[in-house]
Amino acid sequence: DAGVIQSPRHEVTEMGQEVTLRCKPISGHDYLFWYRQTMMRGLELLIYFNNNVPIDDSGMPEDRFSAKMPNASFSTLKIQPSEPRDSAVYFCASSWDGSSYEQYFGPGTRLTVT
C-alpha cells in the first residue's frame, strides 16, 4: 500500500505569499497529523484530525495558519501570509484507531520563505 503522500516536496516563496501544502494519508487511516520541524524547535505537532474533524489545533502558531480535511483522503495546511520564520520542513503523518498509536510519516515539504 502507498504510504503518506505529500506535495509539493519543495516550495520556495516570497514573504507575504500564500502557501498551500497537501497531504494524502494512508488509505484506511482515520487520524491525520501535521507537524513542523526546525533545528531550533525540533518536531512540533501543529494540528490533528480524527475522521476529518480537527481535534486539537493548540500547536498552530497563529491565525496565519489554517488546516482543513474535506474528506478522508485529503488535507491541506495553508499559510497566509507567509513569513521567513515559517521556513521549515512540514510533515504529515497518519494512524488508525487499531494501530496502538503508531504514526507513519510522509516525505515532508521543505518550505523556504524569502
Partner 1 sequence: QKEVEQNSGPLSVPEGAIASLNCTYSDRVSQSFFWYRQYSGKSPELIMSIYSNGDKEDGRFTAQLNKASQYVSLLIRDSQPSDSATYLCAVNGADTGFQKLVFGTGTRLLVSP
* Binding pattern for the stretch 25-64 against partner 1, x by CB under 8 A and - elsewhere: ------x----------xx-x--x-x----xx--------
Contact with partner 1 (CB under 8 A) among 25, 88, 108, 111: 108
18 or 99, CB closer to partner 1?
99
User: Which residue matches cell numbers 518536531?
Assistant: 43
Backbone angles phi, psi at 60, to 5 degrees: -65, 125
Contact with partner 1 (CB under 8 A) among 20, 22, 66, 104: 104
State how beta strands 104-105 and 19-24 pair.
unpaired
| CB distance 90 to 19 below 8 Å | no
